Amino acid sequence: MDSPSFNWHIKPGQNKLELLEHLIELSNEFNKPGHFNHYLLKANNDYQLELVHGFEDNHINPDTGEGAGEILSKHGFLPILYFVTIKQRMNRLDASVPKEQRAVISFCDEVGAPLNINDWSELTNELSRLSMSTEDVRSLAETVEFVDKIYRLDEIDDVSPGSYF
């Protein structure tokens, strides 16, 4: 049996330019701004997502907007969060576009079984399936707006005295 993996495929639909813009914008949110060149994402020194001509694993072709690849446990959560966030953003953008013209961003596991990841619970289930820690994911997921921010009232340090009447 193959080791657990998360596989992705992107077909841009009519919004190829918007998809490429979102890929680059999110790349700047995950990486240091201004360090784009042709890498959309580098994670754990083992995973590189590139925007280059051709159709190789973990590449997105700038001419067609299409790409596909595989993410393994050793690559960490960053690439998975990147793709589920892109899918979420494109779904919002494509809401008014006829279904047959929308971007298709699909995920499957190592045997080709489809994966649906649309919320925090589904994301953490997938990371657990891949034996990845979910400890540091929430904060970044909030930053890139994959999930709503949780306000932790018990962590608020109020130095002013309370007034009770």
Tens-digit pLDDT profile for residues 2-47: 689 999 999 998 878 888 998 988 888 887 655 556 788 988 768 9
Q: Is 163 a domain residue?
A: no
Q: Which domain holds residue 89?
A: 5-155
The pLDDT of 120-147, averaged and rounded, is: 91
Number of domains into which the chain is organized: 1
Q: Is 88 a domain residue?
A: yes
Best-predicted range by mean pLDDT (1-5, 92-96, 102-106) = 102-106
Q: Is 64 a domain residue?
A: yes
Q: Is 16 a domain residue?
A: yes
Q: Is 40 a domain residue?
A: yes
**Is the model more confident about 140 or about 151?**
140
Q: Is 161 a domain residue?
A: no
Q: Is 121 a domain residue?
A: yes
C-beta of residue 147 within 8 angstroms of C-beta of residue 85: no
Q: Is 50 a domain residue?
A: yes
